[in-house]
Amino acid sequence: MADLQLKTTGSSRTVADLPCPPGLPLLGNLFQMAPAKLHLTLERWAKQYGSPFRVQLGTIPITVWTQVDLFQTVMRERPHLYRRFSPIESAMTELGGNGLFSAEGAAWEPQRRLIMRALSFSNIKAFYPTLSAITERFLVRLQTAAKENRTLEMTDDLKRYTVDVTSTLAFGEDPHTLEQERGVIQEQLALILPALMRRVTALFPYWHYVTLPDDRRLARAMVEVHRYVQKMIERARERMRQSPDSPPHNLLEAMLAAHNEPDSTVTDELISANVLTLLVAGEDTTANAIAWALMYIAGDSSLQYRLFEQSCAALGESRICPDYDSLKHLDLCEAVCSEALRLRPVAAIQTFEPLTEVCLGGVALPAGTRMLFLTRPGMLDPQNFVHPEVFDPDRWKHPRDPSDGVHEQKAYLTFGAGPRVCPGRYLAGVEMRLVISMLMKHFRIELAIDPAEIEEISAFTMVPNKMPVRLHPLT
């Protein structure tokens, strides 16, 4: 048994010893765990039962944890000792999307290397002029809406931006969804994560036996998505045939080049799965993080003014942050997003399973025990962040003065940690600075509804149910 925590915590308990909310015979807590509110239900139980506790999905026990040190331990001991929940891999395989996020074992490392290179610091810096041009197109779209006095559903508009960015960076093709109204690929992509959430939390793979309306819609969407991905791959192959001597310009071309090498393990299926993975991972997370930040900005006029001042100073005469180096003057723009992600982590639940029997936090966990870690409780713990309930972007300023109070960076697990930490975090940081500074320089933003009407929804990522915003032009 891998004895990770036993020495410090004394004798071990078993999973069956863990406290569990009362449920129904045979079904356990199944009907108390509506997928759309799962993170809120588990956070409430964590307060009541402490960590770890257990929930029963029928006869399957699922352990739920909040301790930051254990979260860190598990994340760092991947991929050899822990993996993500196995239903994620099987659900993504069925959807043709078993790429970097869901890959495990020997299949994970080579994919990680390719994608890390594509999303590296230096690549994003080289990509900056294109990123800035896409942000300019986003501004044009927003100015048109503002002129027409339209209320914008910001989560949708932000997803157009993130899809155009991810596709251009990773696949060398800009789908221009910012310039289209209907028929964009986001309409189909939007069904994937909620479906993943339903399937990962299902008692058994019911969709193998009955097809519900949601599953029919998903199947139709997946046909469209795969057609879209295949066409993009064919166009990239054609570009490479036209210029056989030029090096790969983006992730897709790098994967196609790796596929052509002798004894390559990069299959067509794997290329397609990673295109899909990046489209989904790059779209939803950053767009919703910025949307949550806008909710806080709209509710605080003095913060909005400070962001305006910072943006005007950094952008000067330019409409968009003029160059990569000027991004460093937009730290408050990124801080509001970091702070929004602390209070509203878009990855609110992270899933693991031990690959062998382990002892964690004094609990003996057989191989395959399902583990859910909740991201937010550690970030709302006063031992980790001073006045944790307060939205305070200034807590992210550098350098921090010790008299500012506790700020435990290790508890900020919104991008994960260890070998599988989010490879898209630099790109997300640049997108956040670019979009917030563009918005603040050109508009005063106002939420079109009472913030109390905005609900958190668990759709694999944790998203707002709506974020309607009115933009008032400043010039």
Binding annotation for heme: 422
421 near ligand HEM (CB under 6 A): yes
68 near ligand HEM (CB under 6 A): no
Evaluate whether 359 touches 70 at the Cβ level (below 8 Å).
no
What is the total count of residues that contact ligand HEM (CB under 6 A)? 29
- Residue selected from 53, 65, 71, 101 as contacting ligand HEM according to rule CB under 6 A: 101
427 near ligand HEM (CB under 6 A): yes
Q: Which stretch binds ligand HEM (CB under 6 A): 213-221, 339-347, 355-363, 396-404?
A: 339-347
3-class DSSP string for 207-253: HHCCCCHHHHHHHHHHHHHHHHHHHHHHHHHHHHHHCCCCCCCCHHH
**Closest alpha carbon to 375 in 109, 72, 24:** 72
186 near ligand HEM (CB under 6 A): no
Evaluate whether 172 touches 166 at the Cβ level (below 8 Å).
no
- Residue selected from 97, 378, 416, 464 as contacting ligand HEM according to rule CB under 6 A: 416
Looking at beta carbons only, is 256 or 346 nearer to ligand HEM? 346
Looking at beta carbons only, is 56 or 285 nearer to ligand HEM? 285
Q: Which stretch binds ligand HEM (CB under 6 A): 125-133, 226-234, 244-252, 340-348?
A: 340-348
115 near ligand HEM (CB under 6 A): yes
315 near ligand HEM (CB under 6 A): no
Evaluate whether 279 touches 163 at the Cβ level (below 8 Å).
yes
What are the Cα distances from residue 412, in Å, to 36, 39, 77, 240, 396? 24, 17, 18, 41, 11
How is 358-420 classified by DSSP, letter by letter? EEETTEEE-TT-EEEEESHHHHT-TTTBSSTTS--GGGG-SSPPGGG--B-GGG--TT--GGG
- Angstrom distance (rounded) from CA 2 to CA 364: 10
Task: Output the smallest distance, CB 280 to ligand HEM, in A.
Answer: 9
282 near ligand HEM (CB under 6 A): yes
82-83, strands of its sheet edge to edge: 53-57, 60-65, 370-374, 349-354, 82-83
The token pair at 408 is 């435990």
Looking at beta carbons only, is 117 or 319 nearer to ligand HEM? 117
Looking at beta carbons only, is 250 or 414 nearer to ligand HEM? 414
How is 140-180 classified by DSSP, letter by letter? HHHHHHHHTTPPEEHHHHHHHHHHHHHIIIIIS----GGG-
- Residue selected from 423, 435, 439, 441 as contacting ligand HEM according to rule CB under 6 A: 423
Evaluate whether 82 touches 352 at the Cβ level (below 8 Å).
yes
- Residue selected from 346, 349, 430, 454 as contacting ligand HEM according to rule CB under 6 A: 346
52 near ligand HEM (CB under 6 A): no
Amino acid present at 379: M
Looking at beta carbons only, is 63 or 250 nearer to ligand HEM? 250
97 near ligand HEM (CB under 6 A): no
Task: Output the smallest distance, CB 16 to ligand HEM, in A.
Answer: 28
Q: Which stretch binds ligand HEM (CB under 6 A): 7-15, 111-119, 256-264, 265-273?
A: 111-119
- The binding track of 250-279 with respect to ligand HEM, each residue x by CB under 6 A or -, is ---------------------------xx-
- Residue selected from 189, 255, 428, 436 as contacting ligand HEM according to rule CB under 6 A: 428
- The binding track of 139-178 with respect to ligand HEM, each residue x by CB under 6 A or -, is ---------------------------x------------
3-class DSSP string for 303-353: HHHHHHHHHHHHHCCCCCCCCHHHHHHCHHHHHHHHHHHHHCCCCCEEEEE
Looking at beta carbons only, is 141 or 425 nearer to ligand HEM? 425
414 near ligand HEM (CB under 6 A): yes
Task: Output the smallest distance, CB 375 to ligand HEM, in A.
Answer: 7
The token pair at 293 is 């930040």
Q: What is the pairing mode between strands 82-83 and 461-464?
A: unpaired
- Residue selected from 112, 125, 235, 319 as contacting ligand HEM according to rule CB under 6 A: 112
Q: Is the dihedral of CA 301, 307, 309, 312 positive or negative?
A: negative
**Which residues contact ligand HEM by CB under 6 A?**
75, 100-101, 112, 115, 119, 166, 277-278, 281-282, 285-286, 289, 341, 346-347, 414-418, 420-424, 427-428
